[in-house]
Chain A
Amino acid sequence: MRCGDFRQTYVQDMAIFESAFGRRVYLLFLASLAFVPAFASGFWMDVANRVLIAIIAATGLNILTGFTGQISLGNAAFLAVGAYATGYLAGPMGLPFLVVIPAAGVLTALVGMVFGVPSLRLKGLYLAVATLAAHFVIEFVVTHWESVTGGVNGMSVPAASLGGLSFKGDRTLYYLVLPLTVAMLLFAKNLFRTKVGKAFVAIRDQDISAEVMGVHVFKYKLLSFGVSSFYVGVAGALLAYQARTISPESFPITLAIDFLGMIIIGGMGSILGSIFGAIFITLLPELLRLAVTPLASHFPELTTLFASLKMGVFGLAIVLFLVFEPDGMAARWHSIKAYWKLYPFSY
């Protein structure tokens, strides 16, 4: 009897799914996701789209921070770049989404690579500080470049469309967001089975050893910034298509902290972790609202306190996870799976 998770061949080690049964379960789960709009209310469709978009952005950030070890506090600004690029390309230029979404991603990737250049000389704390500066600089540009961004008033974004096809409303947009999320997750998962992904991980674990082993550190760091920002840019594009109006206030520094919270709580350096973290952080305020609403009739002050309650629970979740489960929900998931695999003889 197998008494553990042993991999005997490279093929087993590289496999995305551990067993054919696991793959079938995943496929079945994905297929069932396609039927969500048939049952869910408008509110939950909005939440579902936001969760999926957050998954794309968190995966992007995890590629940079979790897998390559480069801390970035600038991802809210990169999200803004993707969203504004979408607003401009889809609005005044009137391009279809098939062009707009990749273009927004590529543009954000370029901006991200520009701000990734400091990683040539800086690491750790100093890189975090440099990306923080990037956030404020981009925010300033977005607020003041009025001819393109509409300044503080923001801009409105037309619905995603291609020819006669138009994704208006959350229920139809879901069918654009879901396949895109799945595709991007698969790409990320596969990225870390390739030379490029392994180079990222090598840089995270020990940059000097990586250099000695022949990894061009600067090139791969910049590439990591590019790939990560591409993901965040695509998330920004979808966010713009979903929200339909964007303004500088949509992308505060706290949003960047939210994304970092997602990968910390979900698990750094794990694709599954980005999914868990994005779901957790996006659902947290919604579930909190559901819990508070029935109490509000007895304690009317709860509704006024809700904003601070949300903030406090978010901070507390991050702090508690860091103190008690630093490897995040993905690690907990794996240990639960291992427990059941060996049940009742686990030790």
Chain B
Amino acid sequence: MEFFLQLVLSGLVVGSIYALVGLGFVIIYKSSSILNFAQGEFLMLGAYVCVAIFNATKVPFLAAFLLTLVFSALLGVTLERVLLRPMIGEPVISVIMLTLGLASVLKAVVQGIWGTDTQPYPEIFPTTPVRIGPLPVSQGYLYSVGSVLVLLALFSVFFKYSRAGIAMRATAFSQQVALSMGISVKRIFALSWSIAAVVSAVGGVLLGGVRGGVDGAFALFGLKVIPVVILGGLDSVAGAIVGGVIMGVLENLAGGYLDPLLGGGVKEVAPFVALVAILAVRPYGLFGKIKIERV
């Protein structure tokens, strides 16, 4: 039982990071119908930039974190303006390849600057574990799950009440209608890319704090999140969150119980097996809009 709870708990932590990266995915997909394969690189870059600012300037960690968010927002806007805007109206394969090429460039930049060794993270969370019931839980886990919850609540409010949030939802609903209501769709695209970069950077910093360091493997989160957003529904914010938590728990349980039987590696492949099943049964996901074109 304790083994089970331990697995569920670590699944929840990873799942909350999945939810954040998934949120970035969904925001971009909703506004511009682009599946961003460079999302994992955004996460990795955010984690690296944060620790680099912290080491270089000796400012408090929180300040370095906020500077990272500013950097990510600018990065998102720039990429959208320079690379993604010429792609409007191009076929799906071109847009997919563009984000894959972008991912490759970002990875190269990170490796070129910081090398391939793990960059240690400062201890940003207190180290003494807290007991929840029978389980000792490290405080980093609690902080990361907590901050994910806060962020998600903030975004829900943002989409529901703020002017920009409502404009984004209008754009997602119909670009033509949004244009005729005086919304600048281009600005919405830029905003959605910067939000996606920012939430991924938050995820990256949290992950760095929990794991105590950042390395190139962080970029793999971008691929792991694809089953998450398909499960939740590509165009649903709530779906990204629920999907993230479910996938995090699922991969941990599958890894914990099936690894001894099948000889390792189940954790990596389980989300993709689930992905095939979801695509066969319910390709629009749990909360997605049912408008997938059938052939």
**Could you tell me which A residues sit within 8 Å of B by CB distance?**
65, 71, 118-126, 128-130, 132-134, 136-137, 139-140, 143-144, 207, 217-218, 221, 253-254, 257, 260-261, 264, 268, 304-305, 307-319, 322-323, 326
B residues within 8 A CB of A310? 108
B residues within 8 A CB of A129? 35, 226, 230, 275, 279
Which 3 residue pairs are nearest across A and B when measured between Cβ atoms?
A315-B104, A312-B108, A318-B101
B293 part of interface (Cβ distance < 8 Å)? yes
A125 pairs with B35, CB closer than 8 A = yes
Residue of A nearest to B100 (CB): A257
B149 part of interface (Cβ distance < 8 Å)? no
B107 part of interface (Cβ distance < 8 Å)? yes
Please, could you name 5 A-B residue pairs with CB atoms under 8 Å apart, sorted by A? A128-B92, A136-B272, A261-B100, A261-B101, A323-B98
A interface footprint on B70-97 (CB within 8 Å = 1, 0 otherwise) = 0000000000000100110010111011
Minimum distance in angstroms from B90 CB to a CB of chain A: 6
B265 part of interface (Cβ distance < 8 Å)? yes
B111 part of interface (Cβ distance < 8 Å)? yes
A interface footprint on B242-283 (CB within 8 Å = 1, 0 otherwise) = 000000000000000000001101101100110110011001
B83 pairs with A326, CB closer than 8 A = no
B295 part of interface (Cβ distance < 8 Å)? yes
A274 to B218, CA, bound (A): 33
A149 to B109, CA, bound (A): 36
Contacting A119 at CB < 8 Å: which of B265, B266, B295? Answer: B295
B295 pairs with A137, CB closer than 8 A = no
Contacting B283 at CB < 8 Å: which of A122, A132, A143, A315? Answer: A122
A315 pairs with B108, CB closer than 8 A = yes
B98 pairs with A318, CB closer than 8 A = yes
A residues within 8 A CB of B167? none
B101 pairs with A311, CB closer than 8 A = no
Minimum distance in angstroms from A58 CB to a CB of chain B: 14
B223 part of interface (Cβ distance < 8 Å)? yes
B131 part of interface (Cβ distance < 8 Å)? no
B12 part of interface (Cβ distance < 8 Å)? no
Given the interface contacts A217-B295, A305-B112, A308-B112, does A319 sit within 8 Å of B93 by beta carbon?
no
A71 to B37, CA, bound (A): 14
B102 part of interface (Cβ distance < 8 Å)? yes
B103 part of interface (Cβ distance < 8 Å)? yes
A50 to B292, CA, bound (A): 40
B105 pairs with A312, CB closer than 8 A = yes
A225 to B98, CA, bound (A): 24
Given the interface contacts A311-B108, A312-B109, A315-B101, does A322 sit within 8 Å of B272 by beta carbon?
no
A322 pairs with B269, CB closer than 8 A = no
B294 part of interface (Cβ distance < 8 Å)? yes
Residue of A nearest to B110 (CB): A308
Centre residue among B102, B103, B108 by max chain A CB count within 10 A: B108
Given the interface contacts A126-B279, A309-B112, A315-B101, does A322 sit within 8 Å of B262 by beta carbon?
no
A residues within 8 A CB of B35? 125, 128-129
Minimum distance in angstroms from B31 CB to a CB of chain A: 15
B97 pairs with A144, CB closer than 8 A = no
A130 pairs with B98, CB closer than 8 A = no
A319 pairs with B102, CB closer than 8 A = yes
Minimum distance in angstroms from A285 CB to a CB of chain B: 13
A315 pairs with B102, CB closer than 8 A = yes
Minimum distance in angstroms from A33 CB to a CB of chain B: 30
Given the interface contacts A122-B283, A137-B273, does A319 sit within 8 Å of B83 by beta carbon?
yes
Minimum distance in angstroms from B35 CB to a CB of chain A: 5
B residues within 8 A CB of A305? 112
Residue of B nearest to A324 (CB): B86
Contacting A65 at CB < 8 Å: which of B87, B93, B115, B276? Answer: B93
Q: List B residues 214-260 near A (Cβ within 8 Å).
A: 223, 226-227, 230, 234
B residues within 8 A CB of A221? 295
A253 pairs with B223, CB closer than 8 A = yes
A71 pairs with B93, CB closer than 8 A = yes
Residue of A nearest to B224 (CB): A136
Given the interface contacts A129-B226, A137-B276, does A309 sit within 8 Å of B108 by beta carbon?
yes
